[in-house]
Each structure stands twice: as C-alpha cells, then as structure tokens.
Amino acid sequence: MIYIITTWFAPSSIHRSSLLIMQRILYMIEKEFKQLRRNKVLLRMMLAAPVMQLILLAYAANFEVKNLKIAIVDQDHTTYAQRLAGKFRYAERRQIGNFLFQGYLPNSKSAYEELLAGRADLVLIIPPHFERDLGKENQASVQLLVNAIDGTKGGIASGYAQTIIRDFNLAIRTENIDFDAGSLAGLNVTNQYWYNPRLEYKTFMVPGILFELMLLIGGMIAALNIVREKEIGTQEQLNVTPIKKHEFILGKLTPFVIIGLIQFTLGLVVGRFLFQIPIEGSLLLIYGFAFLFMLLSVGLGLLISAISDTQQQAMFVVFFCLVIFILLSGLFSSTQDMPQWAQYLNLLNPLKYIIEVGRNVLLKGSTLRDMQSQFFTLLGMAIALIGLASWRYRKTV
Amino acid sequence: MDKAVTTHKLTKKFGDFVATDEITFEVAQGEIFGFLGANGAGKTTAMRMLCGLLTPTSGEATVAGYDVYTQPEQIKQRIGYMSQRFSLYEDLTVRDNIRFYGGIYGLSRAELKTKSASIIRELGLDSVADALVESLPLGWKQRLAFSVALIHDPKVVFLDEPTGGVDPITRRQFWDKIYEAAHNGTTIFVTTHYMDEAEYCDRVSIMVDGRIKALDTPTELKRTYGVDSMDGVFQILARGTSGK
Amino acid sequence: MKRFLAFVKKEFFHILRDRRTLLILFGMPLAMVLLFGFALTNEIKNAKIAVLDLDHGPHSRQITDRLLSSGYFQLIQNLNASRDIEPAFRRGKVKLVVVFPPNFSQDFARNDTEAQVQLLADASEQNTAISLTNYATNIIQNYKSEQAPPGTVAPMQIDVQPRMVFNPELRGAFVFVPGVMAMVLLLVSALMTSVTIAREKEMGTMEVLMVSPLSQLQILFGKVLPYLLLSFINGCVIIALGVFLLGIPLNGSLLLLLAETLLFTFLSLSLGLLISTIADTQLVAMFASLLVLLMPTIFLSGFIFPIESMPRFLQFVSNIIPAKYFIEIVKGIMIKGIGLDLLWKPTLLLLGMSAFLMAVSLRNLKPRLNQ
C-alpha cells in the first residue's frame, strides 16, 4: 500500500520539494513494515499477546471462591451434628459456596495438621454436647478454622460457611418452634448492579486489559525498536542523512500506532464476540481515545529510547514504568481507596485515565462530554511526551 | 568554492579530555584525503564533527562550502557517510536497503530505479538482490554500504575505517571503488590504520593524540622522514610523541 | 577455572557499571512491595455516593447520616429524580446511589409493611460494587435492628466462632509477598538471561566469545552467573522487606527458605536459557519471556486469582507453572512454619523441572551456537 502511495507521490516533480517530507516519512514507514514482516516470531507474538491475555483472563482471572476443601471434626455424633455436616457434604449442589467435602477428622489437632499440609481450606469443629446445648441452653456454638493466608479468600470462605450454618439454624428453628419470621424482617435492602448485572469479572477487566496491552506494545516495542537502531549503528547512518527530526519521529510513530490499533481491534472483537462485552458507547469515540492513547504510548517509548543507550536499559525502564502504571491503574483494585500519596502519583498515570474511559464508554455509554477531563489530560500527556521525546532526540551525539 | 572541506583550529573536548586539538587543514575537490592515526588519536571525532554528528567545542569548519555550526542539514544533503560499524539493515534485502536510503535522500522513483539497477549490476549482486543483507559476506556488505553512501551523488564521502576485518584482496577491490568515485569528482575523506592504504591516498594527515603531526602526499612524507614506507613515517611520528 | 572466574568477574562488573539498570533491578521489587503493601488495599474509604431521597423523612435522613459517618462513604451529590441516576454514573464519579422511595419513613415505623431501600451500584468496577453494597447493607440493617425493641433473642441460636488461622488480621501482604518474589525472581533471571544471550547474538559478539579459550558451557554460565547472584540478592531483599516492613512472620527455617529461593532462581535461569535458544533478537527474547513466562505466572500461579475457581483445563495447566510450587513453599515456610517433611513434594517438582529445563536448553543451545 505504501509502495503505491510513494510511487504516486514521487514522480510529480512540480511539488517535489513540498512532498519530500511526506516521501521520507513514507519510506521510513515502509521500511518499518518490511522489517516487521520479516520478523515472523515477533509478529506472531504481537498478535498472540492480546488474544492470549484476554483468554487467560476470561477463564483464569476470577476472584470467585469455589471448590473449597472442607473437613469436619464431629465430636458430638448426634443427629443435629450429622445433619449440619451433611449440609457441607452435599454443598456442591448448592449455588453458594461449592464446598468439596474431604472427610471427617478425629480432633482439632488433626484439623490444624490438615490446614498446615494444605489438604483443607477450612475445618468445621462441632464440639461435644452440641445438640444438648442447643436444646437445653437454647444456644450452642461451632468452631470454624479457616486458612486465611489469602485473607480475601479466607473471609469469603468463612462467609459462605456461615451462611450455610445460618440456613441450617433457620431450618431447625422452624421445625421446632412455630417461629414468626415476620417480627425480625421489616426492612428490605435490594441491590442492583448496573452495567454489569451478573457481576462478570470479564466485563470489568477486558476494557482495562485492552489499553494495558496498547501501552505495552506502544511503549516497549517502540522503545526497543529505536534503541536497537542505536545499538546496531543504523541510527548513526540515519543521523547523517538529511532526514528531519519530526520526519524521523513521525516515521517511527505511525507504524506503531497502526499496529496498536490493529491489536486493539483484535482485542475488541474477541471481547465482544467471545466474551460478550457490551459496547454501549460510540465506537468512533472509543477509537478516538485508542488513537490518542496509542500516540501517548509511543511517545513514552520514544522518550525512553532517547534516554537509553542499550535495549536492556530501555526494557527495564519501560518495565518499571509499566509495573507501576498497571498496579496503580485500577485494573486490579479501586483507585479511590488508595492512600493519598498513591492517588497523587496516579495523577500522572495515563493508564488510570484511559481505563476509566474504557469502562465508562464501553460499559456505560459515556459520551465525550462525560469524559472531557480524561480527554484533555490524555491529550496533554501525549503532547508533552512526544514534545519531550523530540526535544531529547538529537541527531548529534 | 573549490575546497571540499576546510577546518581552522577545530577542537572537541569531552570534559577535560581533548579529543581533537586545534586541527587545521583543507581538502580539495576530487581528492582522496587520508586520515591516519592509532586508535583514540581523534580521527573518528574529527570526522563526526564534519558530518554533523558532533558539535565542535571551538574552531571553524566547512563542508562543501557550508558551515558545520549553522548549516548541518545542507551539509547532510551533500555528504555520504560510512561508519566503522556496518550501517545497513541486516534484516532488509539488498534492494530494500538501496530503496530506503535512496528514498530518505529524496531520490525520485525513476532515479531510484536506475540507481538500484546500476548498483546491483556493478557489484554483481544480481543473484542476491532479494536476499537479506545479513546473508552476504562482509566484503560484499562493505562495498554495498559504500555504494549506498554514494547513492545521492554526494560531493564528499566520509569513510570511517571502511575496510576493517577483511582480507587484502577484498580491501584492494574496495579501493578500486574509491578510485572510481574520486575519478567521478567525489571527494573522499577516509580514516584508516592500515599503512598500505595510506599509500593509495592523494594526501595524508597523521594524527597523534588529537593533533595533526604531518600533512602531505605520501611521497613527500616518506622523503621528509627518510623512510621508504608510510609505516616508517608513522613509526617515527608516533615514537616521537611517546618519547617526549 | 581461573580463567572462568576472571570471565565471570568481567561480566559482573559489566552489569555493575550500568547504574541505571542496576537501580531499576533493585528499585523494581522495592516499588512492587511498597505498592502492593500500601497502595493496593481493598479497604473501602470515602467512596463517592449519591443519594436520591424521595422520602425526606426522619429515617431516610438518619440512615444517610449513618452511612456518611461510617467513614466508608462520602456524599458528593443529592439527586432529585431517578432520571438523574444514569448521568451521575456516566460521569464516572459516583459509585453507589442510595434510593429511599416515597413514604420510606412511614413504612419503616410500621410492622406490617416492609420498608424498601434500593442500592444501585456501578458494577463496571465490580469488586468495589460488591464491597460497597455489602457495607451499606450492613449499616442499614444495623440501624434497623437498633430500632427494634430490646430483649428479643432468637431461640436455638447456633453461634459460629470463625478463627482465621495463619493470618488473623487478614493481611494482604501474606499472599502478595510470595507472589511478588516469584515474579521478580522470574523476571530478573529469566528475562535478563535470555535478553543477555540474545544481545550477544544480535551484536555478533557471541562468535567472538566462541573463539576464546573458554568452553561454550563456561561462557554461558559466566553470562548467567551474575544474574543468579543478583536475583538471589533481590529475593533476600524482598524477604527482608516482607518481614521487617510488612510484618510477615518467618516461622520456618530461614536456611531452607534461602535454599528454595536459590533453587527457584536457578530454575528461572534455565527457563531464560531455553528462551534464548529460540530467540535471536532481544525484542523476541523479551516478548517470549513476557508472554510465555510472566503472564501465565501472574494468572495461573494462584498469586492473584484462586486456582480452585479455574476451569479444569487451566487447573491442569497451572500444574506446570513453577511459580505455583514456589509460592506454596514460601507460604509454607514463612507463614505456616512447616519444613521439608511437608514440602518435599513441591521441592522435588522444582528440582525435576530445573534439571529437565537445563538439559533441554543445553541440548538446544549447542548446535545453534556452532552454526
């Protein structure tokens, strides 16, 4: 395609001087694509990256807590105790919890050992006289040992178990006493989860992942590409040619922006059709933002390449930035709950803004008006990065 | 303007280190000008200043009539450059490289076509024109790089140790190309540390520790120092400094 | 051997001279631990909410006050009609809207009618949405039960006493420190190794080394040994940060922990070598390391997402992710305080994997370098 454009432009001798700039940029772009086309491994990996990450994400990334391994210590051996244990033995059929019953244990010491060895996630201990106390004292207690190394998971697991026990509690109450449920009720709190009613983790993650990948491609690949030219010496050769700074930068910028947008499209298609991510907002708007963000990413890559001498250096700088950007971006945890210093740091995090845009535009149908502060921030960042990179990029050493 | 290159007290310092120290010389058009010296003598630094890759610390210099401080872009349009490091894209084909550099220098499509064909024919690369450059032997690559450096018919060509690492026969072939270019009116500015190559130059300057110690035709230099080879000249000049 | 040591020394100084890389090499784990430890909390604080109060009664106002004084919520908007809800969400600030229907306070005071409160959460950030509704529901229900006449005790009460074993305060650091350790070790050893060797190939200096009197094996080990040491130091730094800064216990044997860390570093190194046998350029080496190593490690090692919840196939795949075993070992030693008697299985697996990977990469490497 570029070949056609250049051949179309080149012979028109009247406008040659004014078209010379255009021509040089086109030759730069053509060269980049030729090199990329020859690098089959890289090409394949660049196309595989978004698909692989999205698929991994869709099936692996799931905070849901399922298949909890439970063991039970029954020291009471009464009907009630066995019925309670039975709730967990057959809990797989229930919607909630999904417990995997591992068997009975003799005492609390062995319970602890099971937790140590990782053969159980939680152990329910039904103490002696459980049934008796329940009848006589009107109250009995059970103990729940939860492996809480993963605090979140432990908390949820404990919650599930308590729900099952509470249900059992309610069931035996209604059996024994004519229990008036109405006297405790009276306030009904209903929840509605907008924009993601089934609380699908994918829906929440995909918009973020799409942009994270663009930053990776734009920043990393662009930075390494340019530093590579420095390392192998072709950069010096280019520097003695009459090519202008902005021609060089545009020539490098364009291919990566195109590649980034192709990847974005690929990711969007996978997200839309494989994972049914809604696209509520305007497609034009989301592509506009994608384009802007890609400019920003490549700008970052250019800047890093300007300050690095070797690919290793560049790679590590990009990596460092990326890790911080990603962790703070709100991809995994909410940005609002972060401490103040992290929120200040986040003001400089382009990924934070674009993830807000992604979620708002894709899932909620937000308009440019809604997203104008993000738009101007990102625009400002892109201009600043590309400006800085052009300023730092020297044709002299 | 009949001088291809002029310098007057051209100096480059890196911190306290003086890489080139007030060097002054002129190169006439069409001349093959040799720049000799040991590694670190300042040859490459001097050349890089003339190519616009380095900004001089002080002194004056012009290339093809343009000032190195104020008109580097005009200079770049009129010079060719071949660095020590191999400067073509190894992951592009012979043809791709010619096309790319020709395009960057603003050759028209028609010019590109004829240039490309003539370079490939002259170098006898027809069979490998669409092979990746990385698959070529080093000597071929160097000759290709030289032809590419000449693709826009520059007034001056700067060659920084162009024949490093190849055998004498290949080096001889390379020098044939240099003669040919000089014959066509291109000024050749070449650095080398092979003393036999110095004999091929019209004039030679010998640099020691950032200064030009001698500048004349090889014949004159040999006569002045009373030796029968450039190697001898170089030995005397280099030893002279170390003896100080 | 002497020559080999000289070579290793040279390589080592080569790395040490590159200050920037070194800074990042050691800055990265520090930054990750700090961020994970202090910035990435799932605690809810001052979440922005809006209230649509169609009741204007005493109870709706008091519940709103309760919500705001809890510290979890911050009111940024009072809505007037339900059509205002959608735009408020779309602007992206409001995370939760509390809706009190008309006559809420009247219904609340009566015993025969159920009063209704609606919580509308922006679930495009789903974790936050779940937490927010949970907190709000609790606060509202507490308010309700306080209003109930005192002395009403439910009969036949089963009291559940949960005990959070190993991590009673439910600290996040207990999970992520082992995870970050696995990630950083993998990153530094595998990535750096593969990239370093690819660099030599790219620059054509591998051939120069090959003609030196050192054997190929010596050259390779000379190249990777400094990284082995650096990653190991990195691992120690993370352990120290975890223990002294984040208060993770070190209940088991430190010696065993260090030995296992070294083993995992060695394994990562072998992985890096394997990648370098297929990658000719640094870019490819880096991409392969990211795609084949880092991503699966993050997603499939159980570091962030629980393995038990994955589909069968991925659970199966997770078994070949070395980081999974290393994380299990680190948690076991540091937090549970167990020893080899319970950890011999994952240790043996890591050993086997290292041996296998090293063998495969050495076999792959030789013919390629001989080309």
Range with the largest mean pLDDT of A231-240, A309-318, B48-57: B48-57
- Residue B216 domain boundaries: 3-87+154-243
pLDDT at B244 (0 to 100): 33
B-facing residues of A in 292-351 (CB < 8 A) are none
> Helix A79-89 crosses helix A151-176 at what angle (to 10 degrees)?
130
| Domain-embedded: residue B180 | yes
Residue C165 is inside which H or E element, if any? Answer: strand C157-165
Question: Rounded mean pLDDT of chain C?
Answer: 83
Contacts of B56 in chain A (CB under 8 A): none
Q: Do the domain assignments include residue A342?
A: yes
pLDDT digits (tens, 9 = 90+) for C73-117: 889 889 998 888 888 888 778 889 999 999 888 888 876 677 888
CA–CA separation, A110 and A99 (whole Å): 20
DSSP structure string for B51-105: TTSS--SEEEEEETTEETTT-HHHHHHHEEEE-SS--S-TTSBHHHHHHHHHHHT
> What's the token pair of residue C8?
């290793």
Can you give the residue range of the structural domain that contains A298?
Answer: 204-392
Q: Chain A interface, mutation test: which of B63, B88, B104, B142, most A Cβ atoms within 10 Å? A: B104
Q: Considering only CB atoms, which chain A residues are within 8 Å of C288?
A: 41, 45
Show residues of chain A in contact with C251, CB under 8 Å: none
Pair A166, A220 in one domain: no
How distant is the Cα of C132 from the closest Cα of chain A, in angstroms? 10
Confidence at residue C150, expressed as pLDDT on a 0 to 100 scale:
52
Strand order of the sheet with strand B66-67? Answer: B17-28, B3-14, B58-63, B66-67
Domains in chain B, number: 1
pLDDT at A243 over 90: no
Average pLDDT value for chain B: 87
**In the CATH scheme, what is the homologous superfamily, with its name and number, of domain C47-144?**
abc type-2 transporter like domain (3.40.1710.10)
Query: Using the beta-carbon criterion (under 8 Å), do A23 and B103 form an inter-chain contact?
Result: yes
Asked if residue A308 is part of any domain, the answer here is: yes
Q: What is the pLDDT of residue C154?
A: 61
> Around C323, how many Cα atoms within 13 Å sit in the side-chain half-sphere?
32
DSSP β-bridge partners for residue B214: B206
Q: Report the pLDDT value the prediction gives residue B72, as an integer from 0 to 100.
A: 85
A212 and A163 within one domain: no
Of the pLDDT bands very low, low, confident and very high (cuts 50, 70, 90), residue A184 is very low
**What sections of A137-244 are H helices per DSSP?**
151-176, 201-215, 222-232, 234-239
Q: Is A39 on the interface with B (CB under 8 A)?
A: yes
Q: Is residue A32 part of a domain?
A: no
Among A335, A304, A325, A151, which Cα is nearest to C31's?
Answer: A325
The amino acid that residue A54 corresponds to is L
The number of CA neighbours under 13 Å toward the Cβ of A107 is: 1
Q: Is residue B83 part of a domain?
A: yes
Cα first-last separation, chain C: 26
What pLDDT sits at residue A7? 43
Using the Cα atoms of residue C268, residue C272, residue C273 and residue C277 in order, give the sign of their dihedral.
positive
**Hey, are the CB atoms on A236 and B108 less than 8 Å from each other?**
no
Q: Are residues A103 and A167 in the same domain?
A: yes
Q: What's residue A237's pLDDT?
A: 86
Interface test with C, best of A65, A162, A187 (most C CBs within 10 A): A187
**A87 touching C (Cβ < 8 Å):** no
**Within a domain: residue B50?**
yes
Chain B residues with CB under 8 Å of A27 CB are: 99-100, 103-104
Beta bridge partners of C164: A146
Integer-rounded Cα Rg, in Å, for chain A is: 30
Residues A108 and A227 in one domain: no
A18 touches chain B (CB under 8 A): no
Cβ(C189)–Cβ(C268) below 8 Å? yes
Cβ under 8 Å to C: A residues 273-302: none
Supply the CATH number for residue B164's domain.
3.40.50.300
Residue A36: partners with Cβ closer than 8 Å, 6 or more residues away: A42, A43, A255, A259
Cβ–Cβ under 8 Å, residues B52 and B68: yes
Residue A214 · residue A299 · CB < 8 Å: no
Q: Which residues of A touch C141 (CB under 8 A)?
A: 187, 189
Chain A to chain B Cβ contacts (< 8 Å): 91
In a domain, A34, yes or no: no
Residue of chain C whose Cα is closest to the Cα of A318:
C24
pLDDT score at A14? 41
User: For chains A and C, what is the number of CB pairs under 8 angstroms?
Assistant: 359
Give the pLDDT of chain C (371 residues) as one tens digit per residue: 777 788 788 778 877 777 777 887 788 888 888 887 777 766 677 888 999 999 888 989 999 999 999 888 889 889 998 888 888 888 778 889 999 999 888 888 876 677 888 999 888 777 778 778 888 888 887 887 777 655 555 667 777 787 878 877 777 778 788 888 888 888 888 888 888 888 887 777 666 666 666 676 777 778 888 888 888 998 999 899 889 988 888 989 999 999 999 999 999 988 988 888 888 888 888 888 887 787 788 888 887 777 877 888 888 888 999 999 999 999 889 988 888 888 899 999 999 999 999 888 888 765 444 44
What is the three-class DSSP state of A308?
Answer: coil
Q: Do A219 and A90 belong to one domain?
A: no
Residue ranges, comma separated, of all CATH 3.40.1710.10 domains in chain C are: 47-144
The reply to whether residue A118 touches residue C128, judged by beta carbons under 8 angstroms, is no
Residue A128 belongs to some domain of the structure: yes
Q: Work out the mean pLDDT of chain A and round it to a whole number.
A: 81
Residues A217 and A117 in one domain: no
What confidence tens digit (pLDDT) does each residue in A202-218 have? 777 788 888 888 888 77
pLDDT exceeds cutoff 90 at A148:
no
Residue in chain C nearest A329 by alpha carbon: C40
Does the structure show a pLDDT above 50 at A230?
A: yes
In a domain, B93, yes or no: no
Nearest chain A Cα distance for residue B239, angstroms: 32
Residue A240 lies in a domain: yes
| Judgement on whether residues A162 and A274 belong to the same structural domain of the protein | no
Contact C165 A61 (CB under 8 A): no
Who has greater pLDDT, A127 or C6? A127
pLDDT band at A1 (very low <50, low <70, confident <90, very high): very low
Global pTM reads: 0.79
Say yes or no: A253 and A135 in one domain.
no
Contact B20, B11 (CB under 8 A): yes
Q: Residues C316-341: pLDDT tens digits?
A: 888 999 999 999 999 889 988 888 88
The answer on A174 and A221 residing in a single domain is: no
Q: Which amino acid is at B221?
A: L
- Same domain? For A287 and A159 the reply is no
Q: What is the CATH number of the domain that holds A126?
A: 3.40.1710.10
CB atoms within 10 A of CB A178: 6
B53 lies in some domain: yes
With beta carbons under 8 A apart, name residues in chain B contacting A236: 53, 83, 85, 87
Q: Could you report the per-residue pLDDT of C31-61, keeping only the tens digit for each?
A: 888 887 777 766 677 888 999 999 888 989 9
Share of residues in chain A with pLDDT > 90 (%) = 15
Whether residue B109 lies inside any domain: the answer is no
B173 inside domain: yes
Q: Which of A312, A310, A332 is nearest to A323 (CA)?
A: A332
Query: Both tokens of residue A246?
Result: 């902005």
* Cβ-based burial of A4 (10 A; exposed 0-12, middle 13-18, buried ≥19): exposed
- Cβ-count burial of A284 within 10 angstroms (0-12 exposed, 13-18 middle, 19+ buried)? exposed
Same domain for A381 and A275:
yes
| A39, A233, A397 ranked by CB distance to B87: nearest | A233
- CA separation for the pair A56, A131 (Å, rounded): 48
A111 and A214 share one domain: no
Nearest-neighbour CA in chain A from C260: distance (Å): 18
Query: For chain A, what is the domain count?
Result: 2
pLDDT score recorded for residue C355: 92
